[in-house]
Amino acid sequence: MPASRRVTRAVSAVLDLAPRRGEVSLTRLLDAVSEDRDRPIELKMAELPFGVCGQWRQYADRDVFLIQKGLPAWDRTLAHELGHLVLGHEGIPVVQAARENTEMASSDLIGYMLNQRTGCMGPSGEEAEQEAEDFAALLLYRLGRLPSDRSSIVQVRLGEAFG
Ligand SMILES: [Zn+2]
């Protein structure tokens, strides 16, 4: 299914934020988006519940993307979570999430997090998931087609990304 115009525009907007010089990697794009929004985005590896690839946690003063440890396609998951963020898919309030999933119900999380969105790639009936998937696919595709000295998507290693 071709990406909607909304998704295409979001991908272009993110790529427009890329530094004009030097290589453009996903993590650099993340920095650029965070600067543009004037709100930090943190990237962390985590042991998430089985079957979950990534999670976006929204705090009062920052956003955190958690990526499942050892995930082979972590860049895809990261792009997917970024898609949720730039497309304004807010997720659900943490208090509600905690009620639905006792695993998450630590008082820390409830006290400091506003919203969260947990999920994995793959077929999903939810429109927001499909949009985030389309965003991730298009972003990675367009990153890969940048002149080779500007695209470092293949060379970025986990250690650098999560350092
Ligand atoms: Zn998702």
- 82 versus 52: which is more confidently predicted? 82
The mean per-residue pLDDT over the stretch 54-82 comes to 91
Q: Is the pLDDT of residue 155 over 60?
A: no
Structure tokens, 98: 């905690």
Which pLDDT does position 13 carry in this prediction?
Answer: 96
Q: How far is CA 125 from CA 38, 100, 121, 122, 129, in A?
A: 33, 19, 11, 10, 8
Rounded distance from Cα 35 to ligand 1 centre (Å) = 23
> For the stretch 9-18, what's the b/e string if a residue is b when 16 or more beta carbons lie within 10 angstroms of its beta carbon?
ebbeebbebb
Kindly state the average pLDDT of the residues 5-32: 91
- Residue 95: which residues within 8 A CB-CB, separation 6 or more? 110
pTM: 0.80
List, as ranges, residues with CB under 5 A of the ion ligand 1.
119, 129, 132
Closest CA to 41 of 11, 66, 15: 66
Residue 44 parent element (H or E): strand 41-46
99 alpha carbon – ligand 1 mean position (Å): 20
Q: Does position 130 have pLDDT exceeding 70, yes or no?
A: yes
